[in-house]
Structure 1
Amino acid sequence: MVEYEAKRGPDRCPTHPGAVLDDILPSLGKPKVEIAHLLGISRQQLYDILSEKKPVSPNTAARIGKLVGNGPGIWLRMQAAYDAWHAEREVDVSAIPTLHAA
């Protein structure tokens, strides 16, 4: 079997972890209200994550990782990639010099 490295163009935003979670939830066979209860978060917090209005915090990543069985790391990496991509485009760093070690 041939393996291919997935490449995302630099202008394409990384996927928000809420979008991934929204794709996974139907396969769990439980309503979102029950998923929120199982995670120990409010229904509104879950809906805000799914609609990409709120980030996945480390605490929530640990909960989601336990629920779906893949651990918190992947959820935190997705959120970090999403946040970094937006920061690179929104924060003006033009006045900050790049220093090099002597």
Structure 2
Amino acid sequence: MNNWQDITQDRLVRPIHPGEVIADILDDLDINTTKFAEILGVSNQIVNEIINGQRAITVDIAIRLGKALGNGPRLWLNLQQKVDIWDALQSHKEEYEQVIALV
């Protein structure tokens, strides 16, 4: 089995959306979403949609988050990728089972 399948396929629940992690960090830092949006240079709506799991982390947002929080963009992209893979596997599981492995 491929590594990405190991991470996501056997999970019974959806991985945590990166927005939940951001919400916890903002609580710990006692920063509201408006201030955080200013820090990132994006709209408050974007931050709220991410926190509410309604918007995915893009490369642009990952770079901004990584710089603002000091942990780099890869963490945020990896968290988002786990959610995206899990969602795709749930939505298209039967289709993916029909794909024949060449190697």
The normalised TM-score by structure 1 is: 0.83
User: In the comparison of the two structures, how many residue pairs are matched?
Assistant: 95
Q: Residue 4 of structure 1 aligns with which residue?
A: none
Change (3 A) 1:98 1:58: same
Structure 1 unmatched ranges of 5 or more: 1-6
* Per-residue CA distance 1:11-65 (angstroms, 9 max, x = gap): 1211000000000002223221011011011000000000000001110011011
Cα distance in 2 for residues equivalent to 1:98 and 1:86: 21
Cα distance in 1 for residues equivalent to 2:69 and 2:97: 44
CA RMSD of aligned residues (A): 2.1
What percentage of residue pairs aligned between the two structures are identical?
31
SS of 1:93 mapped into structure 2: helix
Q: Residue 82 of structure 1 aligns with which residue?
A: 83
Amino acid corresponding to residue 29 of structure 1 in structure 2: D
Match of 1:100 among 95, 98, 102: 102
1:64 aligns with 2:65: yes
Cα distance in 2 for residues equivalent to 1:24 and 1:94: 36
Cα distance in 2 for residues equivalent to 1:23 and 1:54: 17
Cα distance in 1 for residues equivalent to 2:63 and 2:81: 15
Moved over 3 A (4+): 94-97
Cα distance in 2 for residues equivalent to 1:46 and 1:79: 15
Cα distance in 2 for residues equivalent to 1:39 and 1:52: 18
* Per-residue CA distance 1:40-93 (angstroms, 9 max, x = gap): 110000000000000011100110111111111000000000000000010241
Structure 2 unmatched ranges of 5 or more: 1-6
Q: Residue 19 of structure 2 aligns with which residue?
A: 18
Cα distance in 2 for residues equivalent to 1:66 and 1:94: 36
The normalised TM-score by structure 2 is: 0.82
